[in-house]
């Protein structure tokens, strides 16, 4: 009879290491045609290892000498070469096996009741390939597990597994959740940000109660929400980005009114008002290029961009009380429902082709268009969705 391999996941190749086995399961597995899910009794006993094949970025080699706890019959090798690139990562587990088609003296048994309970395993392990010199090795040994008693032999050391620890994935703390701010309850001695992304009240002496200190998330300001852009009212003396991710108008002297300065979000468009050589800003000798992170960068000596990826300019503002015009070949695209009242828009190039989709809109010219693209192709903004 051909036995199907145990699979512990569609994307991870897993091997069940059953040196000391328990009767209490924690996972559902199928073996040799047992297609039904197996029950999961509690509490589980974690005395198996599930080992996953892994890719390791470390590529080192070394020497090792190990002392087997069972010596004899296992010898102490003179020295083994170790390839310090992990092959498997093993974690404690408790497994339940279904109907097994045995090849040993317990042939025909639907379930093995005489399971050997081992000591609980608590550590994770990384396993490395080893190559040891030939030495005296045990002959055939009698051995027993839940699948039966038999003899095994041809011993050869191929792996050494060492305890490992998963590093805590750092998370940042939401500044809006800090105790004592934004209406949150106050901690008597203040609070600290912990590595798990939570805020914890400090101890009585004001020291942090976090096991591992963390960092506060940075809030950034959306460049398209800056006052004066996208139809938002402009600030007389300009605006500044604050640490909480909002824009605030500057004071009468042009100074920031933020409690703490923030940063503008990356990945946006490049503001033409910040282009080097314009609006009184220092110029670049070979010109500047808009980068994909929303920042301007001076070109190199040959006039080529120094960006990893080239970005795009933010749309130019138009309309408003000042009636800002667009360049030739562009039209002033207003927000939906803003056909009147001197609302600011952004300059857009009319599309040359549109999809054949009937999703009618009413244009600011009082005409019905089959979709918003068709309206834009005629240089018309939208009053509302649906026919006029």
What is the reported pLDDT for 364? Answer: 92
How far is residue 290's CA from residue 55's CA, in Å, rounded to a whole number? 38
What is the reported pLDDT for 12? Answer: 29
Pair (115, 136) in one structural domain: yes
Instruction: Indicate the SS3 state at residue 176.
Output: helix
Which domain does 205 fall in, by range? 168-217
How far is residue 221's CA from residue 224's CA, in Å, rounded to a whole number? 9
263 part of a folded domain: no
Categorize the per-residue pLDDT at 28 as very low, low, confident or very high, splitting at 50, 70 and 90: very low
The CB density around residue 144, as the number of other CB atoms within 10 Å, is 11
185 part of a folded domain: yes
What is the reported pLDDT for 186? Answer: 77
Task: Dig out the tokens for 294 from the structure.
Answer: 């929303």
What is the reported pLDDT for 213? Answer: 84
288 part of a folded domain: no
What is the reported pLDDT for 11? Answer: 29
What are the residues whose beta carbons fall under 8 Å from the beta carbon of 218, sequence distance 6 or more? 172, 262, 263
What is the reported pLDDT for 42? Answer: 64
Pair (119, 28) in one structural domain: yes
Pair (206, 183) in one structural domain: yes
**Mean pLDDT value of segment 305-325:** 80
Q: Give residue for tokens 């587990």.
A: 93
310 part of a folded domain: no
Q: Please, are residues 358 and 370 in contact by the beta-carbon 8 Å criterion?
A: yes
- pLDDT tens for each residue of 253-309: 888 888 777 777 655 677 777 788 887 778 899 999 988 767 788 999 888 988 877
> ∠ CA 53-38-122 to the nearest 5 degrees?
50
Pair (207, 349) in one structural domain: no
**Average predicted confidence (pLDDT) for the chain:** 76
**Mean pLDDT value of segment 18-42:** 41
**Mean pLDDT value of segment 32-38:** 46
- pLDDT tens for each residue of 169-205: 567 787 767 787 756 677 888 889 887 788 888 888 8
User: For the chain, how many structural domains are there in total?
Assistant: 3
Pair (23, 140) in one structural domain: yes
- pLDDT tens for each residue of 132-162: 888 767 788 888 887 778 899 888 889 999 9
Pair (208, 68) in one structural domain: no
Pair (77, 150) in one structural domain: yes
Q: Please, are residues 382 and 333 in contact by the beta-carbon 8 Å criterion?
A: no
Q: Please, are residues 124 and 91 in contact by the beta-carbon 8 Å criterion?
A: yes
Instruction: Indicate the SS3 state at residue 137.
Output: coil
Burial of 2 (0-12, 13-18, 19+ CB in 10 A): exposed
Q: Please, are residues 29 and 96 in contact by the beta-carbon 8 Å criterion?
A: yes
Residue 228 reports pLDDT greater than 80: no
What is the reported pLDDT for 159? Answer: 92
What is the reported pLDDT for 32? Answer: 40
290 part of a folded domain: no
CATH code, domain carrying 338: 3.30.60
How far is residue 226's CA from residue 246's CA, in Å, rounded to a whole number? 9
**Mean pLDDT value of segment 83-108:** 71
> Higher pLDDT residue, 68 or 228?
68
Pair (135, 198) in one structural domain: no
**Mean pLDDT value of segment 12-40:** 38
Domain endpoint, select from 182, 200, 217: 217
Instruction: Give the CA distances from residue 39 to residues 27, 44, 97, 98, 367, in Å, rounded to whole numbers and listed in that order.
Output: 9, 11, 10, 10, 67
Residue 354 reports pLDDT greater than 70: yes
How far is residue 318's CA from residue 330's CA, in Å, rounded to a whole number? 10
**Mean pLDDT value of segment 33-43:** 54
> Higher pLDDT residue, 103 or 293?
293
Pair (131, 34) in one structural domain: yes
Q: Please, are residues 212 and 198 in contact by the beta-carbon 8 Å criterion?
A: no
Pair (141, 84) in one structural domain: yes
Domain endpoint, select from 202, 217, 232: 217
How far is residue 256's CA from residue 237's CA, in Å, rounded to a whole number? 10
**Mean pLDDT value of segment 77-106:** 76
239 part of a folded domain: no
Pair (116, 31) in one structural domain: yes
> Higher pLDDT residue, 303 or 244?
303
Residue 30 reports pLDDT greater than 60: no
Q: What is the CA radius of gyration of the chain?
A: 34
**Mean pLDDT value of segment 207-234:** 73
235 part of a folded domain: no
What are the residues whose beta carbons fall under 8 Å from the beta carbon of 285, sequence distance 6 or more? 298, 301
Q: Give residue for tokens 């938002």.
A: 232
What is the reported pLDDT for 379? Answer: 92
Residue 317 reports pLDDT greater than 80: no
How far is residue 14's CA from residue 379's CA, in Å, rounded to a whole number? 60
Phi-psi region of 373 (alpha: psi -120 to 50; beta: other; left: phi over 0): alpha
346 part of a folded domain: yes
Residue 246 reports pLDDT greater than 70: yes
DSSP state of 270: B
Strand partners, 369: 361
Residue 6 reports pLDDT greater than 60: no
Residue 118 reports pLDDT greater than 90: no
0.85 exceeded by the pTM?
no
**Mean pLDDT value of segment 334-345:** 79
What is the reported pLDDT for 105? Answer: 44
Instruction: Indicate the SS3 state at residue 213.
Output: strand
**Mean pLDDT value of segment 45-57:** 89
Pair (126, 203) in one structural domain: no
């Amino acid at each position: 009879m051909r036995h199907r391999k145990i699979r512990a996941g569609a994307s991870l190749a897993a091997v069940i290491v059953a040196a000391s086995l328990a009767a209490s399961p924690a996972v559902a597995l199928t073996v040799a045609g047992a297609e039904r899910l197996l029950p999961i009794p509690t509490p589980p006993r974690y005395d198996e290892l599930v080992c996953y094949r892994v890719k390791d970025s470390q590529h080192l080699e070394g020497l090792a000498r190990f002392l087997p706890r069972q010596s004899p019959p296992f010898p102490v090798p003179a020295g083994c070469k170790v390839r310090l690139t992990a092959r498997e990562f093993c974690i404690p587990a408790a497994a339940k096996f279904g109907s097994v088609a045995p090849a040993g003296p317990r042939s025909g048994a639907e379930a093995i009741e005489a399971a050997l309970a081992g000591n609980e395993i608590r550590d994770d392990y990384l396993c490395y390939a080893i190559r040891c010199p030939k030495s005296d090795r045990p002959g055939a040994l009698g051995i027993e597990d839940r699948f039966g008693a038999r003899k095994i032999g041809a011993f050869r050391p191929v792996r050494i597994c060492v305890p490992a620890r998963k590093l805590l994935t750092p998370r940042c703390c939401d500044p809006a959740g800090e105790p004592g701010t934004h209406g949150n309850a106050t901690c008597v001695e203040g609070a600290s940000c912990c590595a798990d992304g939570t805020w914890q009240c400090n101890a009585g002496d004001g020291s942090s109660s976090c096991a591992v200190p963390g960092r506060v998330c940075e809030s950034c300001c959306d460049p398209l929400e800056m006052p004066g852009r996208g139809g938002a009212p402009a600030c007389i003396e300009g605006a500044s980005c604050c640490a909480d991710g909002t824009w605030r108008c500057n004071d009468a002297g042009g100074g920031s009114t933020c409690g703490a300065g923030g940063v503008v979000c990356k990945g946006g468009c490049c503001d033409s008002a910040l282009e080097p050589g314009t609006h009184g800003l220092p110029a670049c000798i070979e010109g500047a290029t808009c980068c994909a992170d929303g920042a301007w960068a001076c070109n190199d000596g040959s006039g080529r961009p120094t960006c990893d990826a080239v970005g795009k300019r933010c749309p130019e503002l138009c309309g408003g009380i000042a009636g800002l015009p667009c360049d030739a070949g562009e039209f002033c695209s207003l927000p939906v429902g803003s056909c009147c009242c001197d609302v600011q828009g952004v300059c857009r190039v009319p599309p040359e082709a549109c999809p054949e989709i009937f999703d009618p809109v009413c244009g600011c010219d009082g005409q019905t268009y089959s979709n918003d693209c068709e309206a834009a192709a005629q240089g018309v903004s939208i009053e509302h969705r649906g026919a006029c």
